[in-house]
């Protein structure tokens, strides 16, 4: 941790969730603190910065001095350059970086934690997600509310992906616009948020009202920053030696009111690419979140990362299995990774998926997944002859299904 580091709060949330209102409350109620605010909006006109600094006394070179001594900067150049210059030119007690409504918070946080020039001047205090409770409930709250379409024409990421990523990265989640949903709907939203990010502090707010001490409190823990609900569920069912069971259908049943549960699916047999594609297109609407590693028998010998958030389903070719590397590279990797889950026949090739949802038919979904696995006869066939929609080059992404516009 750098000496005399400036604490940073990273603020995320979808467009219209209430981030700008939150910043205005903060700046008017900061007390003795001098707070610098970096605002990043989408488009050429930084509307958020204009709204945050509307009562400013002085504006020079994109940096606005606010009436209470706070500072607002329009984040139009490189983030690292902006924050380093700000620390050199100004004295302030705390920095708040507002990501745009289409940005992910984790890359912003990494800037301040990975040995950059910014990391030498700052330390992350907290990652805050502002959630529009109505919007979140409509995306995830009711079975069947989210509809999907296969093979979208556009490449824009759906809102459901961003909503989930904001929550999974946060250590403080504000369920805003709580007055626009019923108590039961708000309870359901909170339960889903806690399933997505078990360790986060959750507050219910109206009109983004939260006191400055709560917002700026230090919570960030680099050891748990990636402990999203799906990751915790994936780790929870390992045996005492830290190795995953080879053939597991493991459940996590926290106390729930609205039926939010999770389970982990592990197999040491690959999916048939066409049967697995068909299942991904038709995932039950009760599955709100699914993520993990897939082994697909298409001849490419690649590990695939599957990512589902509400109505959105994407698959990325993450790279080659360690077992597929030349012997020297494979053995060197295994020597450096004593914890690598290794099968004598298949190496690290595996299926390892976590599902989080509301009133899921777990047994039915497990049976459907099992039906996608290769049969004994198919195991001995030429896998490259199977009909295949999955990418065959590392780093390629396939948008399987996306929400209906």
197: domain CATH number? 3.40.50.300
Instruction: Write phi, then psi, for 271 (nearest 5 degrees).
Output: -80, 145
Report pLDDT for 158: 59
Q: Which residue has the tokens 């048939």?
A: 272
Q: Is residue 1 situated within a structural domain?
A: no
| Residues 334 and 267 both lie in one domain | yes
- For residue range 156-180, what is the model confidence (pLDDT) as tens digits? 555 677 788 889 889 999 999 999 9
Per mean pLDDT, which range of 89-93, 183-187, 265-269, 348-352 is the poorest? 89-93
CA angle 388, 365, 379 (to 5 degrees): 40
Task: Assign residue 323 the CATH number of its domain.
Answer: 3.30.1220.10
Decide the pairing of beta strands 63-65 and 71-74: antiparallel
Does 144 score more than 80 pLDDT? no
- For residue 281, what are the CA distances in angstroms to 71, 154, 163, 397? 48, 17, 21, 16
- If asked whether residues 69 and 187 sit together in one domain, one would say yes
Same domain, 202 and 104: yes
Number of folded domains that form the chain: 2
Asked if the structure places residue 304 within a domain, the reply is yes
> Is 0.75 surpassed by the pTM of this model?
no
| Last-in-domain residue among 216, 244, 272 | 216
Clarify whether residues 202 and 259 are in a common domain.
no
Confidence class of residue 17 from pLDDT cuts 50, 70 and 90? confident
Look at 242 and 208; give whichever has higher pLDDT. Answer: 208
Assess whether pLDDT exceeds 80 at residue 59: no
- Three-state SS string across the chain, please? CCCCCEEEEEEEECCCCCHHHHHHHHHHCCCCCCEEEEECCCCCCCHHHHHHCCCCCEEECCEEECCCCCEEEECCCCHHHHHHHHHHHCCCCEEEEECCCCCCHHHHHHHCCCCCCCCCCEEEEEEEEEEEHHHHHHHHCCCCCCCEEECCCCCCCCHHHHHHHHHHHCCEEEEECHHHCCHHHHHHHHHHHHHHCCCCEEEECCCCCCCHHHHHCCCCCCCCCCCCHHHHHHHHCCCCCCCCCCCEEEEECCCCCCCEEEEEEEECCCECHHHHHHHHHCCCCCEEEEEEEEEECCCCCEEEEEEEECCEEEEEEEEECHHHCCHHHHHHHHHHCCCCCCECCCECCCEEEEEEEECCCHHHHHHHHHHHECCHHHHCCCHHHCCCCCCCCCCCEEEEEEECC
- Identify whether the C-beta of residue 124 lies closer than 8 Å to the C-beta of residue 112: yes
> Which of the listed ranges 66-75, 112-121, 153-162, 209-218 does the model predict with the highest average pLDDT?
209-218
Question: For position 1, what pLDDT does the model report?
Answer: 47
Please identify, among 216, 248, 265, the residue that sits at the C-terminal boundary of a domain.
Answer: 216
Q: State the pLDDT confidence band at 146, using cuts at 50, 70 and 90.
A: very low
Please tell me the predicted confidence (pLDDT) of residue 10.
92
Instruction: Work out the average pLDDT over 21-46.
Output: 72
User: In this predicted structure, what is the pLDDT of residue 192?
Assistant: 86
Of the listed ranges 78-82, 130-134, 280-284, the one predicted with least confidence: 78-82
Residue with tokens 């004295």: 91
What domain range is 242 assigned to? Answer: 229-403
Is residue 280 situated within a structural domain? Answer: yes
Whether 223 is covered by a domain: the verdict is no
Using pLDDT thresholds of 50, 70 and 90, give the confidence band for residue 234.
low
- Do 206 and 251 belong together in one domain? no
Q: How confident is the model at residue 135 (pLDDT cuts 50, 70, 90)?
A: confident
Comparing 82-86, 99-103, 286-290, which segment has the lowest mean pLDDT? 99-103
Query: Does residue 108 sit in the same domain as residue 236?
Result: no
Whether 98 contacts 22, CB under 8 Å: no
Same domain for 328 and 281: yes
Which of 164, 172, 11, 170 minimizes the C-alpha distance to 100? Answer: 11
Nearest CA-CA partner of 150 in 353, 330, 404: 404
What pLDDT sits at residue 225?
A: 56
Residue 241 lies in a domain: yes
Query: What's the pLDDT score for residue 37?
Result: 84
User: Taking a C-beta distance cutoff of 8 angstroms, is the pair 340, 269 a contact?
Assistant: no
How far apart are alpha carbons 302 and 391 in whole angstroms? 9
Instruction: Check if the beta carbon of residue 204 is closer than 8 Å to that of residue 180.
Output: no
- Assigned domain for 222 exists: no
Q: Are residues 41 and 110 in the same domain?
A: yes
What is the pLDDT, as a whole number, of residue 66?
Answer: 44
Whole-number pLDDT of residue 21: 86
Confidence of residue 405 (pLDDT cuts 50, 70, 90): low
Q: Is residue 159 part of a domain?
A: yes
Please say which residue of 181, 216, 251 terminates a domain.
216
For the residues 30-35, what does the mean pLDDT come to? Answer: 83
Percentage of the chain beyond pLDDT 90 is 38
Q: Which of 16, 17, 38 is nearest to 27 (CA)?
A: 38
User: What pLDDT, on the 0 to 100 scale, is given for residue 52?
Assistant: 54
Q: Quick check: 274 and 385 in contact, CB under 8 A?
A: no
Q: Which residue has the higher pLDDT, 342 or 44?
A: 342
Task: Please state, in angstroms and rounded to a whole number, the distance separating the CA atoms of residues 164 and 224.
Answer: 17
Q: Give the mean model confidence (pLDDT) for residues 140-168.
A: 61
Res. 182 pLDDT band, cuts 50 70 90: very high
Which CA distances in Å does 21 have to 53, 206, 209, 341, 370?
Answer: 12, 11, 8, 47, 48
Tell me if 197 is assigned to some domain.
yes
**Domain shared by 245 and 384, yes or no:** yes
- Is the model's pLDDT at 391 over the cut of 60? yes
**In this predicted structure, what is the pLDDT of residue 68?**
47
Phi, psi dihedral angles at 54 (to 5 degrees) = -65, -20
Pairing of strands 201-204, 302-309: unpaired
Question: What's phi and psi for 233, nearest 5 deg?
Answer: -65, -35
* Residues in contact with 77: Cβ distance below 8 Å, sequence separation at least 6, in sequence order: none
Reference 111, options 101, 122, 98; nearest CA is 122
pLDDT higher at 180 or 404: 180
Poorest-pLDDT segment among 56-70, 256-270, 338-352, 371-385: 56-70
Q: Are 80 and 115 a contacting pair, CB within 8 Å?
A: no
Is there a single domain that holds both residue 210 and residue 233?
no
Helix 159-169 to helix 133-140 angle, to the nearest 10 degrees? 110
Q: Are residues 195 and 244 in the same domain?
A: no
Q: Are residues 195 and 264 located together in one domain of the fold?
A: no
């Amino acid at each position: 941790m750098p000496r005399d580091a400036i604490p940073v709060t990273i603020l995320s949330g979808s467009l219209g969730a209430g981030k700008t209102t939150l910043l205005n409350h903060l700046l008017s109620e900061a007390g003795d603190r001098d707070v610098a605010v970096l605002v990043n909006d989408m488009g050429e006109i930084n509307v958020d910065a204009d709204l945050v600094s509307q009562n400013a006394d002085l504006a020079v070179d994109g940096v606005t001095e606010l009436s209470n001594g706070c500072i607002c900067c329009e984040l139009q150049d490189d983030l690292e350059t902006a924050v380093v210059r700000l620390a050199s030119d100004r004295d302030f007690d705390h920095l708040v970086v507002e990501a745009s409504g289409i940005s992910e918070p984790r890359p912003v946080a990494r800037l301040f934690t990975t040995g950059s020039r910014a990391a030498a001047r700052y330390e992350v205090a907290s990652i805050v997600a502002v959630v529009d409770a109505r919007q979140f409930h409509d995306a995830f709250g009711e079975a069947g509310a989210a509809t999907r379409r296969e093979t979208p024409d556009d490449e824009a990421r759906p809102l459901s992906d961003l909503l989930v990523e904001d929550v999974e990265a946060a250590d403080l989640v504000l369920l805003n616009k709580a007055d626009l949903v019923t108590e039961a709907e708000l309870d359901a939203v909170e339960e889903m948020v806690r399933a997505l990010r078990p360790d986060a502090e959750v507050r219910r707010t109206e009109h983004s009202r939260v006191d400055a001490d709560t917002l700026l409190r230090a919570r960030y823990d680099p050891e748990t920053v990636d402990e999203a609900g799906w990751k915790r569920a994936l780790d929870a069912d390992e045996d005492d030696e830290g190795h995953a069971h080879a053939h597991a259908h493991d459940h996590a049943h926290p106390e729930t009111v609205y039926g939010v549960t999770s389970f982990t699916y592990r197999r040491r047999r690959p999916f048939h690419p066409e049967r697995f594609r068909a299942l991904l297109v038709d995932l039950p609407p009760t599955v709100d979140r699914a993520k993990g590693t897939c082994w697909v028998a298409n001849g490419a010998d690649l590990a695939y990362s599957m990512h589902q958030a509400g109505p959105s389903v994407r698959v990325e070719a993450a790279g080659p299995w360690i077992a597929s590397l030349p012997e020297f590279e494979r053995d060197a990797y295994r020597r450096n990774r004593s914890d690598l889950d290794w099968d004598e026949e298949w190496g690290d090739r595996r299926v390892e998926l976590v599902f989080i949802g509301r009133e899921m038919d777990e047994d039915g979904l497990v049976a459907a997944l099992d039906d996608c696995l290769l049969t004994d006869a198919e195991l001995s066939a030429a896998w490259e002859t199977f009909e295949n929609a999955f990418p065959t080059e590392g780093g390629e992404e396939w948008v399987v299904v996306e929400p209906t516009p």
